[in-house]
Amino acid sequence: MRKNIIAGNWKMNTTLCEGLELAKGLNEALQGKTPKCDVIIGTPFTHLASVVAAIDTNKIGVAAQNCADKEKGAYTGEVSAAMVASTGAKYVILGHSERRAYYHETPEILKTKVILALANGLTPIFCIGEVLEEREAGKHFDVVDEQIKSSLFDLSREDFSKIVIAYEPVWAIGTGKTASADQAQEIHTHIRQTIASKYEQSIADNCSILYGGSMNAGNVKELVSKPDVDGGLIGGASLSVENFLPIVEAF
């Protein structure tokens, strides 16, 4: 059956020193505990190897927040999926709305990134979600369908079954405005149906679909109480142990 997952996305926050302190703090806080979900932290590239070395990676998985759409070569400043994997990170967040909006990542580019991530043994946490105008126009179902189809639906059954989906409505990211648990459940069910119609019901049933967007200790329980909400991708509230731990413990 599918896994419950709580993943932090630190975004462009923390120096190496601060990031190590945060990762070690979380690691310590989880000692002697057995969370009922997988715990992942998505750190900046610069922190990956050091964080992997500093924590118990059986307890906390480590994710990059991006990888290149090229294998290797003359692409100054880029970080390949193979490089990410070589740090010991096991996951990569792909298709975040901030990358789509600010760095012009197209569905085609994301499709290539997903393929390279999988080829290097990384689990993609693939983000989808509509902007406010699309939600208000009632187009959110079509938007997420298109995002999934255009970047993921050429994958084989076997490869698709390795993907984690994160539904993050753009209007809820960093705004303090969360989707209601019913809104999250409604669209997660829809996403699962879309997956089932392309692949098969068992693949859809086994796919972890996370919610992201202003998730915090106060709203996590209600959101994850919904049958199709399998956890969360947390931005702001993942930046301190104090805020992140109660989210992990919500299951």
Q: Judged by CB under 6 A, which of 234, 241, 245, 247 binds ligand 13P? A: 234
Give the integer Cα–Cα distance in Å for 121 and 9. 20
Give the integer Cα–Cα distance in Å for 161 and 146. 19
**Distance in Å, CB of 40 to ligand 13P, minimum:** 11
Q: Judged by CB under 6 A, which of 4, 5, 9, 55 binds ligand 13P? A: 9
State which residue has the least CB distance to ligand 13P: 235
Q: Which is nearest to 183 in space by CA: 145, 211, 215? A: 211
Q: What are phi and psi of 123, to 5 degrees?
A: -90, 115
**27 or 214: whose CB is closer to ligand 13P?**
214
**12 or 74: whose CB is closer to ligand 13P?**
12
Q: Does 96 bind ligand 13P (CB under 6 A)?
A: yes
**Distance in Å, CB of 197 to ligand 13P, minimum:** 27
Going by the DSSP 8-state scheme, the letter that residue 37 receives in this structure is: S
Contact 128, 170 (CB under 8 A): no
Q: Does 235 bind ligand 13P (CB under 6 A)?
A: yes
**55 or 63: whose CB is closer to ligand 13P?**
63
Q: Is 96 one of the catalytic residues?
A: yes
State the catalytic residue, choosing from 47, 96, 140, 188. Answer: 96
How would DSSP label each residue in 98-159? HHHHHS---HHHHHHHHHHHHHTTPEEEEEE---HHHHHTT-HHHHHHHHHHHHHTTS-HHH
Q: Is 134 one of the catalytic residues?
A: no
Q: Judged by CB under 6 A, which of 4, 194, 208, 214 binds ligand 13P? A: 214
**Distance in Å, CB of 21 to ligand 13P, minimum:** 20
Site for ligand 13P in 173-192 (CB under 6 A): 173-174
Structure token digits, residue 33: 């505990």
Pairing mode, strands 209-212 and 231-234: parallel
Catalytic residues: 96, 168
